[in-house]
Amino acid sequence: AQSVTQLGSHVSVSEGALVLLRCNYSSSVPPYLFWYVQYPNQGLQLLLKYTSAATLVKGINGFEAEFKKSETSFHLTKPSAHMSDAAEYFCAVVNTNAGKSTFGDGTTLTVKP
């Protein structure tokens, strides 16, 4: 069984401030972890993915995430928020055998000017 918990359904930051979106997972096998972003009225698109090659993963648009096995976490960060980062963010864990993903409930990021 696998599950994902995203702490905080809404996060608000000021432009230029640090962005931190939290994701904790549980998985009975080594996890494949993903962060997706959804802009208004669009489908999801991949931000970054953990492939076990490195614990710190860099993605698009300046985002990165760190895999911490001891904390079962995969938090998403960006040093300086931009207005265009306002969107909904989803963390997902994949069942490697079936390819099915389990998604968190999502975190809506608001960026204030």
Partner 1 sequence: DVKVTQSSRYLVKRTGEKVFLECVQDMDHENMFWYRQDPGLGLRLIYFSYDVKMKEKGDIPEGYSVSREKKERFSLILESASTNQTSMYLCASRSTSGRYNEQFFGPGTRLTVL
Which residues form the interface with partner 1 (CB under 8 A)? 9, 32, 34, 36, 41-46, 49, 51, 90, 96, 99-101, 103-106
Residue 43 contacts by C-beta under 8 Å, 6 or more apart in sequence? Answer: none
Residue at 42: amino acid letter: Q
CB 55 within 8 A of CB 68: yes
Closer to partner 1 by Cβ: residue 40 or 113: 40
Residue 6 · residue 92 · CB < 8 Å: no
Residue 1 or residue 113: which is nearer to partner 1 going by CB? 1
Q: How far is the CB of 81 from partner 1 (least distance, A)?
A: 23
Name which of 77 and 103 has its Cβ closer to partner 1: 103
